[in-house]
Amino acid sequence: MTSTTKTKLSMHEDHIISVRAARKYFPVQEGWMRRVKGYVKAVDDITFDIRKGETFGLVGESGSGKSSIARLILRAYDLTGGEILFRRADGSVIDVSTLSDRDLRDIRREMQMIFQDPYSSLNPRMTLLDLVGEPLVIHGVGSQGEIRDRVAELLRLVGLRPEYLTRYPHAFSGGQRQRIGIARALALNPSFIAADEAVSALDVSVAAQNINLMQDLQEKFGLTYLFITHDLGMVEHISDRIGVMYLGRLMEVGPTDEMFAKPLHPYTEALLAAVPQPDPRGNRARKRVPLKGEIADAMNIPTGCPFHPRCAYADAKCRGEVPELRVVQAGRQVRCHHAETLDLTGVVAE
Amino acid sequence: MSDTTRTSQSSMPPERLLQLDNVGVHFPTRDGLVKAVNGVSYHVNKGEVLGIVGESGSGKSVTARSIMRLQPKNAINASGTIRYRCKSGEELLINEQDRLGRTMRNLRGNEIGMIFQEPMTALSPVHTIGTQIMRTVMLHRQVSKADARARAIELLTKVQMPRPTDIVDRFPHHLSGGMRQRAMIALALACDPALLIADEPTTALDVTTEAQILELLKRLQDEMNMAIVFITHNFGVVADIADRVAVMYLGRVVETGTVDEIFYEPKHPYTQALLQSIPRLGQSHGRRLRTIAGMVPDPFNVPTGCSFHPRCMQAVGGICDVKTPDDVVFASGQRARCHFAGQDRQAEAAQ
């Protein structure tokens, strides 16, 4: 998987991001001497690519490492191992994990993030002009007047009135604040945006508005999204391809439609079965066997397949041997010893 | 304030456990009076699960808390009656009770249990799970400490807590989110309540844990023949657990009906629009989501007439923005608070 030469980085020309064998371990310290007693393997040997212009969905339970991956890509965290390649707007490829601070600032014009909590991610003492214009000021783009015009344009883009320029975030609802966050992320014309649970805190009708907005913007500017969520209905709606995470590992990667119609990993099957549907008759007809137990402690990851203690299909091999993420069908990868022999159920479309 | 409802002292039908009529709860604030709950009526029969859905600010939690009289001190109970049938069979007017009085203290925990979204706010962080359950049991029942402890372990077993004899001596912070939720359910069930009020109990949980807790609640409800008022904003969860559903918007119930009626034949434009804005598994990829125009108005400026009219695709000028609609009652018992409920136009919009 790793590139053959160190000097020349290469990736498939359709790809904008390539995460290769990425690892992030957090040390767990103990006592006043801060002795390291172990590591939390938040991200362990993750490899996947994001294609230019697509929406890549990342799903999994809390603690599975979804957010850590976004933070690694934007280099809010430093990698413990592996590499993360990014294709710049000019076509050149760089390894985000080895950039100097100065180059990093440059690269962040092209990659941005939208956060979950629209209340804590906006400074309450800054007006919309300051908030949305801040990235422009930092990167020295334009004069004061130009920044003002650009912010007004950005607000219009996300469906907020330009007259709101001088207002503070407290005057806005949760959905509108999320739009402010989107405008801020768009300020420097990025090509890639990581949205970490961007609509999870919103009400149904408002979430739908913002999702539609994000899709419009994607079409308009050719954006690539990494969409992180625990809401499977939402991820299915917005994503072209999906990665399913469990305990810091990718269990399955594939195109949305194929994966949801016929999952290859028992964990994907269990997740899909767990979602209650807005369909009372369907729920009654469907036999739901809830997944047993809970996600394991990230400091004591089970031996063999990390999912085996909760897996209905696990056998001796699963307990002893760690499965590799491997290609089983064109475009579909899975980390399961028995992917070929299992006949799993997906979502039955009505 | 409106004493007209008081005159209807007629008793509830025998199967009725809880009945709210025209309940209004207001909060005085610096910026004016907030009518958080503005004439809510719903009822729960014995052994039935009533789902209450609505967006934030619709008043679902405030209404539920007024059943327990667990309101902030500044809350004004502006109107309406809340009737409850005790285990003894007698009817109690909850809205007339002193919130700190003996009757309410006996009601809470003993007759009505309550579980919340965030278990850490409901459980004491400085007492073990066992101690907290034992205190509830000993408060309402004349039992010895040893018996209460045995009861605590029995309850933890009942909620399928792993290693109940060990967990009983643990503190809440030792437990995972799902286990805390189980501990809180055990606490709420300590005295076999006839009614459980569940306020968004699965919202903070992962889907797999949510499925476990929903299965548990359904099983317990069946075993104990307990009624549940289940508050949520998640239509999937409501479809899974509820027998009947009440949809709330801006402090009012806009539609009630059986779960099948609400999901397959919604009569109110708000219910219809909400159902269309949810992405559903297996049929939504790539399709644009239907949205509801605008946003929930702020509680100081509730629109005149039908409070949903500024966002309603089917609003008719001169009627919807002027006159507050009454419930339209259908033959099946389904109710919708819309001037045009059940008329042809609605049927085609539901398609």
The answer to the question of residue B343 being in a domain is: yes
Please count the residue pairs, one from chain A and one from chain B, whose beta carbons lie less than 8 angstroms apart.
139
Interstrand relation of B112-115 and B16-29 (parallel, antiparallel or unpaired): unpaired
B207-224 helix and A266-274 helix, angle to the nearest 10 degrees: 50
- Paired with B244 in beta bridges are B50, B258
Q: What is the pLDDT of residue A259?
A: 94
Task: For residue B156, tell me if it sits in a domain.
Answer: no
Instruction: Find all residues with CB under 8 Å of B100, minimum gap 6, and list them.
Output: none
Please check whether residue A330 lies inside any domain of the structure: yes
Q: What is the mean pLDDT of residues A95-123?
A: 89
Both tokens of residue A216? 């419009």
CA distances in angstroms from B317 to A219, B115, B197, B250, B306, listed in the order given: 36, 43, 39, 20, 11
pLDDT score of B286: 62
3-state class (DSSP) for residue B159 = coil
Please give the Cα distance from A334 to A339 (Å, whole number): 7
Each residue's pLDDT tens digit, B53-77: 998 888 999 999 999 998 888 999 8
Is there a domain that residue A271 lies in? yes
Residue A295, domain extent: 266-334
A241-246, strands of its sheet edge to edge: A111-114, A192-196, A224-228, A55-59, A241-246, A249-255, A332-334, A326-329
Higher pLDDT, A3 or B141: B141
Element (H, E) at A297: none
Instruction: Render pLDDT for B165-213 as a digit per residue (tens, 0 to 9).
Output: 999 999 999 998 889 999 999 999 999 999 999 999 988 888 888 999 9
One-character DSSP codes across B41-90: EEEEETT-EEEEE--TTSSHHHHHHHHHT---TT-EEEEEEEEEE-TTS-
Q: Would you place residue B1 in the very low, low, confident or very high pLDDT band (cuts 50, 70, 90)?
A: very low
Determine which of A66, A161, A199, A204 to mutate to test the interface with B (most B C-beta atoms within 10 Å). Answer: A204
The answer to the question of residue A280 being in a domain is yes
What residue of A is the nearest CA neighbor of B285? A237
Q: What is the mean pLDDT of residues A191-217?
A: 89
Nearest Cα of chain B lies from the Cα of A112 at a distance, in angstroms, of: 24
Contact B212, A275 (CB under 8 A): no
For residue range A278-300, list pLDDT tens digits in order.
Answer: 899 988 887 677 788 888 887 88
State what percent of residues in chain A have pLDDT above 70. 97
- Please check whether residue A310 lies inside any domain of the structure: yes
A261-280: pLDDT as tens digits:
999 999 999 999 998 888 99
DSSP, collapsed to helix, strand or coil, labels residue B92 as: strand
- What is the CATH number for B65? 3.40.50.300
The answer as to whether B132 is a domain residue is: no
- When CB atoms are compared, the residue of B209, B239, B285 closest to A278 is B239
pLDDT (0 to 100) of residue A179: 93
pLDDT of A324 reads 93
Residue A272 is assigned to a structural domain of this protein: yes
- Report if residue A201 sits inside a domain: no
In eight-state DSSP terms, residue B144 is -
- A181-184 long-range contacts (CB < 8 A, ≥24 apart) are A181/A114, A181/A115, A181/A118, A181/A121, A181/A122, A182/A114, A182/A158, A182/A210, A182/A213, A182/A214, A182/A217, A183/A132, A183/A151, A183/A154, A183/A155, A183/A157, A183/A158, A184/A131, A184/A132, A184/A134, A184/A135, A184/A154
Q: Please, which pLDDT band fits residue B4 given cuts at 50, 70 and 90?
A: very low
- Three-state secondary-structure class, residue A31: coil
Residues 11-70 of B with CB under 8 A from A: 55-56
Residue range B217-244: mean pLDDT, rounded: 94
- CA trace torsion A74, A80, A85, A89 (10° rounding): 20
- Looking at residue A4, its pLDDT comes to 42
What b/e sequence results for A177-202 when a residue is b if at least 16 CB atoms lie within 10 Å of its CB, and e otherwise? bbbbbbbbbbbbebbbbbbbbbbebb
> Is B232 a domain residue?
yes
B279 with A233: CB under 8 angstroms?
Answer: yes
Domain that holds residue B41: 4-111+193-280+294-350
Model confidence at B346, in pLDDT bands (50, 70, 90)?
very low
A280·B260 Cβ contact <8 A: yes
pLDDT tens for each residue of B74-131: 999 889 999 999 988 889 999 898 888 999 999 998 999 999 888 888 899 999 999 9
**What Å distances lie between residue B52 and B59, B61, B243, B249, B256, CA to CA?**
10, 9, 11, 11, 9
Instruction: State whether B206 and A295 contact (CB < 8 Å).
Output: yes
Within a domain: B248: yes
- Do the domain assignments include residue B133? no
* Contact residues for A90 (Cβ-Cβ < 8 A; gap 6+): none
Q: Per the structure, how many domains does chain A have? A: 1
Q: Please give the Cα distance from A337 to A334 (Å, whole number).
A: 9
Contact criterion met (CB below 8 Å) for A22 and A96: no
Identify whether B97 is part of a domain: yes
A4 φ/ψ angles, rounded to the nearest 5 degrees: -70, -40
Q: Does B204 touch chain A (CB under 8 A)?
A: no
Taking only the tens place, the pLDDT of each residue in B236-289 is 999 999 999 999 999 999 999 999 999 999 999 999 999 988 888 877 666 788
Chain A CA closest to residue B177: A294
- Confidence band, pLDDT 50/70/90 cuts, at residue B296: confident
pLDDT of residue A349: 59
Structure tokens at B346: 């609605």
Interface of A with B in 219-238 (CB under 8 A): 230, 232-234, 236-237
- Give the per-residue pLDDT at B159: 92
Task: Report the residue from A209, A276, A294 with minimal CB separation from B240.
Answer: A276
B180 vs chain A: nearest CA distance in angstroms? 13
B323 belongs to a structural domain: yes
**pLDDT(A5) > 50:** no
Residue A118: DSSP 8-state = T
Contacts of B200 in chain A (CB under 8 A): none
Per-residue pLDDT reduced to its tens digit, B19-66: 999 999 999 988 888 889 999 999 999 999 999 999 888 899 999 999
Q: Which of A256, A271, A347 is facing B208, going by the closest CB pair?
A: A271
Q: Is the pLDDT of residue A38 over 60?
A: yes
Q: Domain tally for chain B? A: 1
**CA separation for the pair A248, A60 (Å, rounded):** 10
Range 109-168 of B in CB contact (< 8 A) with A: none
Residue A120 lies inside a defined structural domain of this protein? no
Reply yes or no on whether the pLDDT at A230 is more than 90: no
**pLDDT higher than 60, residue A204:** yes
**A289 touches B: beta carbon within 8 Å:** no
Q: How far apart are CA A42 and CA A197, in angstroms?
A: 18
| Range B332-350 average pLDDT | 76
Q: What is the pLDDT of residue B244?
A: 97
A204/B282 touch (CB, cutoff 8 Å), yes or no? no
First to last CA, chain B: 42
Question: How high is the pLDDT of residue A34?
Answer: 84
Q: What is the DSSP letter of B108?
A: B
For the record, the structure tokens of B60 come out as 């679902």
> How many C-beta neighbours within 10 Å does residue A151 have?
24
Q: With 60 as the cut, is the pLDDT of residue B8 above it?
A: no
Residue A301 lies in a domain: yes
Average pLDDT rounded to a whole number, residues B326-338: 93
Q: What's the pLDDT band for A174 if we cut at 50, 70, 90?
A: confident
- CA-nearest of A348, A342, A349, A343 to A305 is A342
Q: Calculate mean pLDDT across residues A85-95.
A: 92
